[in-house]
Amino acid sequence: MPPFHHPCFLMPLAVLVLSEIGNSHGHVGLAAAASSLSSDTRTTFQLTSGSSIPLLGTGIGNLPHEEITQVIHNQLEAGVRLIDTAHASNNEHLLAEAVASYDAHAGAGLDPIHVVTKVWYTHLGYERTKISVEESLANLQFSSIGSHRQIFVHMLLHWPRCNDDIPWMNCEEEEMNLPQRIKDAGPPPHLNKENAFIDSWKALEDIFQQHQDILETTKGSNSPLIASIGVSNFDLDDMKRLLQTARIPPHIYQGNAWAVFHDPFLMNYLRDHGIFFQAYAVMTGILKGRNASSTSYNTLSRTSRELHATIYAENEGAVITEATVVLAYFIRHNIGVVPRAASSAHQRENSINAVHSVFPHLTETQIENLHLAIPALMKDDSNDKPPVVSVSFMNSLTSPIQVHWIQPETEKEILVSQVIHPGSVDVHGSHPGHRFVAYDPDRTVRKEFVVDAKYGESQHFYVEL
Ligand SMILES: NC(=O)c1ccc[n+]([C@@H]2O[C@H](COP(=O)([O-])OP(=O)(O)OC[C@H]3O[C@@H](n4cnc5c(N)ncnc54)[C@H](OP(=O)(O)O)[C@@H]3O)[C@@H](O)[C@H]2O)c1
């Protein structure tokens, strides 16, 4: 956890990141959003691939296998059309069987289903990735088990590499345990950590292109079609490397919800390249934050109680909780969410109906309160978030200062700390080599800083004369 962490330091950053995401896609910014909430019923997001994807889905990535059928039946019944999983979860075939068994009893006119799935890091490299994608598509072949529903697949690289520094990754052992035909298909990716994902991306580009051709010529198919390609858990440097050689930039980035508020560099980069952010760990982030930041959780609870009372008065079946409000908040800012919920009570709170019932009733005061509370709750650490350098700026001047990040490619200065009062400290997640500049109000003082700490370390900058 970074030093000097205080929720209020992070608030301006969160507002900046979210409002800019909205603007980048031609949607209203945060201020305008407040006044247009009542008319907003957006359920999907238009990707740069040309396809759209539901903003609210559900995750079965780490759900016990025996719970999958019931969860998927409930979610389909509640109108969910996006399911997140991964090849490594070994449950794509269970997903397909669950949809097919639901469809056997459903009427005609079935909506398409979107499935996000991923290539595990043992399958990085051109040939290994192709095999992984083919296996996923075969697992998701609904028509072979009796469903005629159209399925759109969003295929991501799950991680850029295996990294032995992450406690649960075991690069050698996982390689050893692979089937021989995978080992034979291409070199071990953990011995080629900087380039294997580049080769994988080429495979995804080629497969995406083939599927686009099928889509254009047949205008649909009973086989799963790849509607977009993307990545997950890449850090900013990995993204830059990927985009240097990519013919097709990623359409989707799936990452820890923490990054939305606390990794402005990554978020700005994704925004600038039109890459849609889909968040996991939304629920775990909030629930962890409940213990770490009780004031923020109380603010969120108060808001959800107020909204529940209003919405319940119109619809006695409605249940609006903290979770419902947080999901609405993310979706409202065009961030996709895939909460996992085994319990039917949680599924109801996370449902499209519940989440969308919130929008028309949110007041501007409630929105302002959420801008403070949700980033603070989301600041808790997580084992699988991308690594950062924690940088802090101590204002040792007698006047307030602003801090900007200098975008490397353009030298554009992007505001990251709206105001740091004399004697106060502001903390950000950053990356080695990044530059910042601090100004006093009339810009007579200009101080530049370069991050030379390594990932996982902290670096403190003193803004002084
Ligand atoms: N790309 C990646 O590397 C990556 C990493 C992690 C996860 N994911 C994906 O993201 C999905 C989401 O999983 P996650 O691990 O991020 O977990 P999450 O959705 O943040 O949290 C799941 C937990 O929250 C609880 N929950 C769900 N709805 C709730 C509500 N309304 N109120 C209170 N608690 C609620 C669930 O309880 P119950 O189950 O008891 O209802 C469960 O214990 C996964 O299934 C997976 O598909 C991707």
CATH number at residue 234: 3.20.20.100
**Best mutation site among 67, 157, 260, 283 for ligand 1 pocket (most ligand atoms within 8 Å of CB):** 283
Ligand 1, atom 11, residue with closest C-alpha: 59
Residues 449 and 338 in one domain: no
- DSSP-derived secondary structure for 406-418: E-TTT--EEEEEE
Residues 448 and 335 in one domain: no
CATH number, domain of 417, equals 2.60.40.780
Number of folded domains in the chain? Answer: 2
Residues 411 and 347 in one domain: no
| Structure letter (DSSP) for residue 420 | E
| Element holding 156 (H helix, E strand) | strand 151-157
DSSP-based three-state secondary structure for 27: coil
Residues 238 and 332 in one domain: yes
Residues 290 and 238 in one domain: yes
Residues 395 and 458 in one domain: yes
Residues 340 and 443 in one domain: no
Q: Tell me the CA–centroid distance for residue 325 and ligand 1, in Å.
A: 16
Residues 310 and 394 in one domain: no
Ligand 1 proximity of 59 Cβ (cutoff 6 Å): yes
Is residue 439 included in any domain, yes or no?
A: yes
Q: What percent of the chain has pLDDT over 90?
A: 64
Positions of the chain with pLDDT lower than 50, given as ranges: 1-40, 381-384
Q: Tell me the CA–centroid distance for residue 98 and ligand 1, in Å.
A: 19
Ligand 1 proximity of 85 Cβ (cutoff 6 Å): yes
| Per-residue confidence (pLDDT) for residue 265, from 0 to 100 | 83
Is residue 253 included in any domain, yes or no?
A: yes
| Per-residue confidence (pLDDT) for residue 220, from 0 to 100 | 60
d(CA 154, CA 119): 11
Residues 6+ apart with CB under 8 A from 295: 7, 376
Prediction pTM value: 0.80
Question: Encoding tokens for residue 333?
Answer: 């800012």
Is residue 35 included in any domain, yes or no?
A: yes
Residues 170 and 209 in one domain: yes
d(CA 110, CA 107): 7
Mean per-residue pLDDT over the chain, rounded: 86
Pairing of strands 151-157, 113-119: parallel
Ligand 1 proximity of 370 Cβ (cutoff 6 Å): no
What are 304-316's pLDDT values in tens digits? Answer: 999 999 999 888 8
Q: Tell me the CA–centroid distance for residue 283 and ligand 1, in Å.
A: 6
| Per-residue confidence (pLDDT) for residue 456, from 0 to 100 | 65
Residues 6+ apart with CB under 8 A from 328: 355, 356, 358, 359, 362
Residues 32 and 165 in one domain: yes
| Per-residue confidence (pLDDT) for residue 22, from 0 to 100 | 31
d(CA 453, CA 299): 36
Ligand 1, atom 26, residue with closest C-alpha: 341
What are 214-265's pLDDT values in tens digits? Answer: 888 776 667 899 999 999 999 998 999 999 999 999 999 999 998 998 888 8
247, amino acid identity:
R
Domain boundary among 346, 361, 376: 361
Ligand 1 proximity of 92 Cβ (cutoff 6 Å): no
Residues 356 and 442 in one domain: no
Instruction: Please state the atom number of ligand 1 nearest to the C-alpha of residue 86.
Output: 47
Is residue 286 included in any domain, yes or no?
A: yes
What are 345-403's pLDDT values in tens digits? Answer: 999 999 999 999 999 999 999 999 998 899 888 875 444 455 678 788 989 999 999 99
| Residue 12: count of CB within 10 angstroms of its CB | 19
Question: Encoding tokens for residue 48?
Answer: 């740069």
Is residue 373 included in any domain, yes or no?
A: no
Is residue 420 included in any domain, yes or no?
A: yes
Ligand 1 proximity of 424 Cβ (cutoff 6 Å): no
| Per-residue confidence (pLDDT) for residue 7, from 0 to 100 | 25
The gap from C-alpha 394 to its chain's centroid, in whole angstroms, comes to 31
Ligand 1 proximity of 233 Cβ (cutoff 6 Å): yes
State which residues form the domain around 177: 7-361
d(CA 175, CA 191): 10
Nearest to 254 by CA among 273, 277, 237, 284: 277
Do 428 and 13 meet the contact criterion of CB atoms below 8 Å apart?
A: yes
Q: Tell me the CA–centroid distance for residue 350 and ligand 1, in Å.
A: 11
| Per-residue confidence (pLDDT) for residue 33, from 0 to 100 | 28
Domain boundary among 316, 342, 361: 361
SS3 track for 330-360: HHHCCCEECCCCCCHHHHHHCCHHHHHHHHH
Is residue 370 included in any domain, yes or no?
A: no
| Per-residue confidence (pLDDT) for residue 342, from 0 to 100 | 96
Ligand 1 proximity of 350 Cβ (cutoff 6 Å): yes
Q: What percent of the chain has pLDDT over 70?
A: 88
d(CA 155, CA 113): 14
Is residue 396 included in any domain, yes or no?
A: yes
Place of tokens 């949607």: 27
Q: Please, where are the H alpha helices in 147-257?
A: 171-176, 180-185, 196-218, 236-245
| Per-residue confidence (pLDDT) for residue 397, from 0 to 100 | 93
Residues 409 and 346 in one domain: no
Domain boundary among 361, 381, 413: 361
Ligand 1 proximity of 323 Cβ (cutoff 6 Å): yes
| Per-residue confidence (pLDDT) for residue 387, from 0 to 100 | 63
